[in-house]
Amino acid sequence: MSEKNKSLIGGISILGLAGIICKVVGVLYRIPLADYIGGEGLGIYSKVFTAYNMMLTMFTVGIPVAISRMVSHYVTRHDPRNARRVFGVAMPMLAAFGAIGTVLLILGSGYLSRRVGTPETRLGYIAIAPSVVLVCVMSAFRGYMQGHRHMMPTAISQLIEQVGKVAVALPLAVIGMKRGGPGMGAAGALLGTSMAEAVALAYMVFAKARSAAAFRQEEQADMPPLSRKTIGVRLAAISIPITLGGCIVPLASLIDSFMITQLMEQDGMASAEALVRYGLYSGMVITLINVPTALAMAMSTSLVPDIAAGMARGDRDYVAREAHTGMRVAAVVGFPCSVGMSLLAKPILYLCYGYSGRYTPAQLDVAAELLTISALTIVLFTMVQATTGILQGAGKQRIPMYTLLAGVICKVTLNYILIGIPSVNIHGAPIASLVCYTVSMVPNLYFTAKYAARRIPWRDILLRPLAAALPMGAAVWALWRFVFTERYLHLGRARLLLAVLVCVLAGVMVYAALALKVKAVGKEDLPARLRKKIGR
């Protein structure tokens, strides 16, 4: 194995780094968006985006993964002709699905707005509808490039999406807010998202065209060309279970958008306040915890072609090594992110959203409490995503579908029970998510060991990361509790930013030192230049 593959830092793909950058930009986008359209507008935006995300997942989760896996398989076996034929079959299929989705979202906007109990969402559904067909077509290009292990085009297109939101969606949100209030402001932001997706798609078309000549030079073995029917059947066999599994979590979020506000209203809460609380949870809290989980998503995407290539060669040792690496990276990243964000939930919330004047201290405190609990799902989610990518690459895509379904059933049930208790209220949602991902993770680990990893490296994915993360958490907690204290919440954004940065940097230094000490991260995992400095 090359030094680059041995290195944990080198092993974090361009896609993973771009994903983190995109999520950070997304948070930075959500902060002024929340300031401009307020809690009510953010609730409207979140409800529309949840339905859009559900529809998008139906069309863009399974087929792109199937494209990536099949292309990787044929390229590994020196059969680029059939790899190209896979794209030729899948792209029109995704375009057709996307067009249907766009039409359904436009025609069903009135029905959806009534179902979520918020008529102001109708314009938002119409504004975001073009994104469905645009992202569907783009995902075909992404899957093809990822199958060739070319992650840079996907990374750049993701950056275009996020930068486009900041450059286009925010101004449109401001204009909409001035002309029609929160509903129009949310619709403006969603329209800007559609425009950004169009630019990202144009880039992916250009990137594939630029790479076409290099792909044609790949060695072609003596393999018969597959028929379109055969390719279509294989795509369906791989993608349908992945699509069904991928739809489960967005479906749970869609159910949340229907039931959370209604359950709170049944407890006697005013509808406007219930919408604001839902906006705090879905628009603030979920956005923040999505930043560290971006690496998990990228890792899962990268693991699929890697594991598939190993399986195509029959190299089970390689498959086991890649599976162990994926789980270890998930744990090494997930544990400190969960602990750190949970402990610093309140200063992070106040830093991001506390200075616009649109949110009361009571609302920010509720959001901080929700983030304290929700942050603990990060390590669970990263492990679920890593094991899902491993199982999908190994051809066991049905298993994550079933385990996620079991988790979401638990989540919906607990939501109904807990949110309906007045003393628990909205706090039941993150508790239910913790149970959901735990229920999904445990069987995923078992089947990963059975079909890919051969064994679960418990010391690497549990004991060693915890041995570094818990002392790190103690250091961060003591620094905030005794050095800065909560008075920094009211001393201005600049001072609070400095306090948060000091706590984060201290946590990173403590965790890095302890992770090396307890061998959660080995010196061989580090870049060569850094290894030389440590070895001096």
Helix (H) or strand (E) holding 248: helix 228-266
Could you say which of 424, 456, 488 is where a domain stops? 456
Are residue 473 and residue 426 in the same domain, yes or no?
A: no
What is the pLDDT, as a whole number, of residue 13?
A: 52
Do the beta carbons of residue 171 and residue 160 sit within 8 Å? no
Residue 453 burial (CB < 10 Å; 0-12/13-18/19+)?
A: buried
Are residue 183 and residue 210 in the same domain, yes or no?
A: yes
Could you say which of 408, 423, 456 is where a domain stops? 456
Do the beta carbons of residue 412 and residue 257 sit within 8 Å? no
What is the pLDDT, as a whole number, of residue 514?
A: 93
What is the pLDDT, as a whole number, of residue 20?
A: 66
Residue type, position 381, single letter: F
Tell me which long-range contacts 418-421 makes (C-beta under 8 A, separation of at least 24).
419/259, 419/260, 419/263, 419/264, 420/263, 420/266, 420/267
Are residue 450 and residue 469 in the same domain, yes or no?
A: no
**Cβ neighbours of residue 74 closer than 8 Å, sequence gap 6 or more:** 80, 82, 83, 86
355 phi, psi to nearest 5 deg: -120, 15
Are residue 373 and residue 252 in the same domain, yes or no?
A: yes
CA distance 130 to 199: 13
What is the pLDDT, as a whole number, of residue 469?
A: 95
Are residue 300 and residue 418 in the same domain, yes or no?
A: yes
What is the pLDDT, as a whole number, of residue 16?
A: 60
Q: How many CB atoms lie within 10 A of CB 260?
A: 22
306 phi, psi to nearest 5 deg: -65, -50
Express each pLDDT in 414-473 by its tens digit: 988 898 788 888 899 899 999 999 999 999 999 999 998 889 989 988 999 999 999 999
Are residue 468 and residue 451 in the same domain, yes or no?
A: no
Q: What is the 3-state secondary structure (H, E, C) of 401-416?
A: HHHHHHHHHHHHHHHH
What is the pLDDT, as a whole number, of residue 524?
A: 53
Of 67, 226, 52, the residue nearest 140 (C-alpha) = 67
315 phi, psi to nearest 5 deg: -95, 85
What is the pLDDT, as a whole number, of residue 527?
A: 46
What is the pLDDT, as a whole number, of residue 394?
A: 87
Do the beta carbons of residue 395 and residue 307 sit within 8 Å? no
Residues in the chain with pLDDT values less than 50: 1-12, 527-531, 534, 536
Q: How many CB atoms lie within 10 A of CB 357?
A: 8
Q: What is the pTM of this model?
A: 0.72
Are residue 480 and residue 331 in the same domain, yes or no?
A: no
Residue 236 structural domain = 3-456
Compute CA distances 162 → 20, 183, 463, whole Å.
Answer: 11, 22, 37
Are residue 149 and residue 289 in the same domain, yes or no?
A: yes
Could you say which of 440, 456, 472 is where a domain stops? 456
Looking at residue 151, what DSSP letter applies?
-
Are residue 448 and residue 468 in the same domain, yes or no?
A: no
The tally of domains found in the chain comes to 2
Of 268, 362, 278, the residue nearest 40 (C-alpha) = 278
Are residue 469 and residue 370 in the same domain, yes or no?
A: no
Are residue 386 and residue 269 in the same domain, yes or no?
A: yes
Are residue 197 and residue 272 in the same domain, yes or no?
A: yes
